Structure 1
């Protein structure tokens, strides 16, 4: 009986060991093949950590005298939360910034940094990420407060990238459907355009209703925000249809108008929830804990998705991944090998001495060599340095998102609430409309210059 027990214990131990090795191998394989997913996981973990510490950092920071003594007197809960968020944001900013510097110049998959740094070395990278996040809590308050101003600038750049991506997406979508000369697609564009303008009007009506509630007193600020949004929609549409806009179209103008309406809604919702004119805020304050957690989780996921999308879209910014540079140039008689979907390698046919097409069969050894050569010449699918730079900027944006753009979190259970957030979103609204108008008018105002 004892022997059976011993054998069973040994088998269970072996099974557990094999399972651990299998899980370890699987996780390494996933991180090797899906590096962007792994970096997103680190970024999301940092956001959750910053969110938790923002509301519950006081017991931890109370044990760090070099931070508390700089707070002066009896620091408020808001001060503790802001310090915690800044330090987590700084740790991630340093990690992704260092990764961006390390990946500068990686164009081909044969570069050792692709294998060992971008897609490998996860134990070292996770240790480095932890180290940066811990060391940030040992920095003096003055240095962290200075980083707050860096975070403001980085957040502005992050929002500008989002605006450029939105404009590029809309124009590309419009051009792609128009160029196909398919009546069904043209009718679809017309329907989406009409739907977007209907959405602008409906959103304006809802904003007037919820953010100018009866008995709230003077809500002229909210009324002016909604009215300005409608004016921007009219101006953008008028510019798009003017004779000075060579590439103007109502479809992008309608989508820009709808996005500006969304920004107006987002700005109004970000008003302090004790503000009498914020009718939605009062309802959110009374919401259940699960509703609050779900709302905050959606807001954080939106930031992750925006960072991932922007970091992977290097074609828009043309950061060294052009066709000539990505594979070391394609000029002359020598063409790079290209693998088809079945993994076969093809070479450019050459004429024989008799002027006939050369159709000599490749031996198995030559084909294998050509496939290996093609793999070495394969370009990376996105700019690694730019990907990490976007996540570094997103780290600064998280610091501003959770602290009301440096004014401290106005309310414990919410993110992106406060007058600072309201101002930034309104500025983003104006910047979006202005960028689209400039994109249309710039070629007419400066005809001597070429615009892409």
Structure 2
């Protein structure tokens, strides 16, 4: 429903007639939901534009952009700059620079907004045509930024921001695992249906089967009998840690404080950790131990490493990233958010309702403002934040700024501009970020299970 409402808001960019037509066709939804989806759509469109710049057919055309053609006029002769090989990556840097700047400025502007009566609320929830024009104009202007030290300097911002978003992404995935298990176990306990029991067992078995298959493939393709000791260490350690995390989830002491904790959550986390392990070893600079996906699927393991490309690891990483962004935009905080620390990431139910006359209001429920209804029209997107915002507007934009930096580093394989062209698609920085992320994910998940038992004086319900 929120996506349909956001489509209607997007139609407002084309004029009042298109806006009126689309709004008349869509169901009503909360303004907080519609706004978050609109920003997610904006981020998604920016990501698509960044992906397009990595298309092989555009590389020759991109070499004519100002920061390539004007390089000799602005950059000292001692500065290394290979526009032939890395022009796609440098274009991604500039697109993501503008998107990050936009979300960061929005984050600064929305600090301490308490409700939609604040004068800054219209900036948050409207002016979409102006926002899109500013971003498009900024991207065009960014291509005139001379390379100089822009790429290497912005890369450090990308590394820090990308790593911070990975932490948020881990929290969202752990929250998703807990929420999924809570919902299905609750359905089974309420209905005692064998169908829900079979679904729980089937989903758990499928996740573990995929994880075990992934581990076997990692050993087969990313290790050698007498070599690749580092890859063997990563794969073996993560496998052991996943087994320990799965065992912890069914301990009696954990079950006492979290009766719905079980192997379904562990299977989701295990599968994600196996993905992170694969993503890490596939970015190893040791080409003897890293055949790449092309080397696995074909008999020729030689891949081109001196041109910017959009590899399969990036595709999977962006799919997971997009799911996390949509999850954070659509999801309302549940009981599991007390344990997984997603209170500031997900929206809270502030009790606002659209038509209080049709519902039995309790003391903490408030009426949402309905501008369309006041003018005699049926409301479509209604204000549910008149008394209190349902999510932290400033932190939301800050998270999206970090998400943009994560996209930039994912698309560019954590490449350092103007470094060795042989490290365009594989480097040790990317490998260690992914591996450390897998350890952080397991640590966070184990803590979310044992925290209620250790901090028994706190209320996690």
Superposition TM-score, scaled by structure 1 size: 0.70
Does residue 257 in structure 1 map to residue 270 in structure 2?
Answer: yes
2:246–2:267 CA contact under 8 A, matched in 1: yes
Is there any run of 5+ residues in structure 1 with no aligned partner, and where?
A: 1-20, 328-336, 350-366
In 2, the alpha carbon distance for the partners of 1:408 and 1:72 equals 15
Equivalent residue number for residue 306 of structure 1: 324
In 1, the alpha carbon distance for the partners of 2:274 and 2:361 equals 54
Equivalent residue number for residue 75 of structure 1: 81
Residues 35-74 of structure 1: pairs in structure 2 closer than 5 A: 35-36=38-39, 38-48=41-51, 51=54, 58-60=63-65, 61-65=67-71, 69=75, 72-74=78-80
In 2, the alpha carbon distance for the partners of 1:424 and 1:311 equals 25
Residues 353-368 of structure 1: pairs in structure 2 closer than 5 A: none
For residues 348 and 382 of structure 1, do their structure 2 counterparts lie closer, same or farther at Cα, with a shift above 3 Å needed? closer
In 1, the alpha carbon distance for the partners of 2:252 and 2:457 equals 18
2:221 aligned residue (210, 214, 226) = 210
For residues 26 and 68 of structure 1, do their structure 2 counterparts lie closer, same or farther at Cα, with a shift above 3 Å needed? farther
In 2, the alpha carbon distance for the partners of 1:423 and 1:72 equals 31
For residues 26 and 417 of structure 1, do their structure 2 counterparts lie closer, same or farther at Cα, with a shift above 3 Å needed? farther
Residues 280-429 of structure 1: pairs in structure 2 closer than 5 A: 280-283=293-296, 295=312, 300-313=318-331, 315=333, 316=337, 317-319=342-344, 322-324=348-350, 327=352, 338-339=354-355, 345=358, 378-379=384-385, 384-408=393-417, 417-429=426-438
> More deviation in 219-228 or 242-251?
242-251
- For residue 293 of structure 1, report the CA deviation from its aligned partner: 6.6
- For residue 169 of structure 1, report the CA deviation from its aligned partner: 1.4
1:404–1:420 CA contact under 8 A, matched in 2: no
Equivalent residue number for residue 435 of structure 1: 444
Does residue 131 in structure 1 map to residue 153 in structure 2?
Answer: no
Residues 238-249 of structure 1: pairs in structure 2 closer than 5 A: 238-245=247-254, 246-247=257-258, 248-249=261-262
In 2, the alpha carbon distance for the partners of 1:416 and 1:435 equals 29
2:70–2:146 CA contact under 8 A, matched in 1: no
2:208–2:271 CA contact under 8 A, matched in 1: yes
- For residue 307 of structure 1, report the CA deviation from its aligned partner: 2.5
- For residue 66 of structure 1, report the CA deviation from its aligned partner: 8.2
In 1, the alpha carbon distance for the partners of 2:424 and 2:329 equals 24
Deviations 1:81-122 (A, max 9, x none): 5544333221110012223334456676677766x5345423
In 1, the alpha carbon distance for the partners of 2:266 and 2:277 equals 16
Structure with the greater alpha carbon radius of gyration: 1
Equivalent residue number for residue 245 of structure 2: 236
- For residue 41 of structure 1, report the CA deviation from its aligned partner: 4.7
Equivalent residue number for residue 153 of structure 2: 146
2:279 aligned residue (266, 276, 281) = 266
For residues 414 and 309 of structure 1, do their structure 2 counterparts lie closer, same or farther at Cα, with a shift above 3 Å needed? farther
1:409–1:417 CA contact under 8 A, matched in 2: no
In 1, the alpha carbon distance for the partners of 2:41 and 2:292 equals 40
For residues 411 and 35 of structure 1, do their structure 2 counterparts lie closer, same or farther at Cα, with a shift above 3 Å needed? farther
- For residue 209 of structure 1, report the CA deviation from its aligned partner: 1.6
- For residue 186 of structure 1, report the CA deviation from its aligned partner: 2.8
> More deviation in 271-280 or 241-250?
271-280
- For residue 231 of structure 1, report the CA deviation from its aligned partner: 0.4
Number of residue pairs matched by the alignment: 396
Equivalent residue number for residue 168 of structure 1: 175
Q: Secondary structure of 1:233's partner?
A: helix
- For residue 387 of structure 1, report the CA deviation from its aligned partner: 4.1
Does residue 101 in structure 1 map to residue 108 in structure 2?
Answer: yes
In 1, the alpha carbon distance for the partners of 2:152 and 2:265 equals 40
In 2, the alpha carbon distance for the partners of 1:149 and 1:415 equals 16
In 1, the alpha carbon distance for the partners of 2:395 and 2:118 equals 17
- For residue 164 of structure 1, report the CA deviation from its aligned partner: 0.9
For residues 142 and 376 of structure 1, do their structure 2 counterparts lie closer, same or farther at Cα, with a shift above 3 Å needed? same
Deviations 1:19-43 (A, max 9, x none): xx99766765669977346414532
In 2, the alpha carbon distance for the partners of 1:203 and 1:283 equals 13
Deviations 1:181-226 (A, max 9, x none): 1242233223322333333322222221222357xx5122222222
Equivalent residue number for residue 184 of structure 2: 177
1:188 aligned residue (199, 212, 217) = 199
2:231–2:281 CA contact under 8 A, matched in 1: yes
Cα RMSD after superposing both structures: 4.4
1:208–1:223 CA contact under 8 A, matched in 2: yes
1:236–1:437 CA contact under 8 A, matched in 2: yes
Is there any run of 5+ residues in structure 2 with no aligned partner, and where?
A: 1-11, 24-30, 363-372
Does residue 90 in structure 1 map to residue 82 in structure 2?
Answer: no
> More deviation in 175-184 or 162-171?
175-184
Equivalent residue number for residue 234 of structure 2: 225
